[in-house]
Structure 1
């Protein structure tokens, strides 16, 4: 896993009802972009030094925005389907 400052660390939480945890990468100690990373967690606004595990991956800002757009569209499709089944236009 390699990153640069400004990328996002995404930690998947398997087997739970919780969304993946996101952190903005503030600093990368290694010149080749390898961990550990200094991050700021989006949910707590706290900084931490992180050695990511197998449940984590790095995304660029553009990749994360594209993912969020796909997820928003998916949610909108589901909502439209629910409304149609209820008979609401």
Structure 2
């Protein structure tokens, strides 16, 4: 997994009825876009994260959606 600042990370829930977690990568600490990533989640929580198999990376669209 390779990311850049501004990419979105989705952690898919492992339990039925529990929502997925969404966050923005605010810092890439590994070499060449590799983990770990510092993530600011939509609920305000921040953490240093090594993504697992339950994670999906959404790359930031170049130029925005305007």
TM-score above 0.5: yes
Q: TM-score, normalised by structure 2?
A: 0.81
Q: TM-score, normalised by structure 1?
A: 0.62
Larger radius of gyration: 1
Q: CA deviation at 1:27?
A: 0.4
Higher RCO (Cα < 8 Å, 6 or more apart): 2
The 2-side partners of 1:15 and 1:40 are apart by: 22
1:60 has 2:59 as partner: yes
Q: Pick the structure with more strand per residue.
A: 2
How many residues align? The count is 61
Q: CA deviation at 1:38?
A: 0.3
CA RMSD of aligned residues (A): 1.3
| Structure 1 stretches of 4+ moved >2 Å | none
Moved more, 22-31 or 11-20: 11-20
Q: Pick the structure with more helix per residue.
A: 1
Unaligned runs of 5+ in 2: 62-66
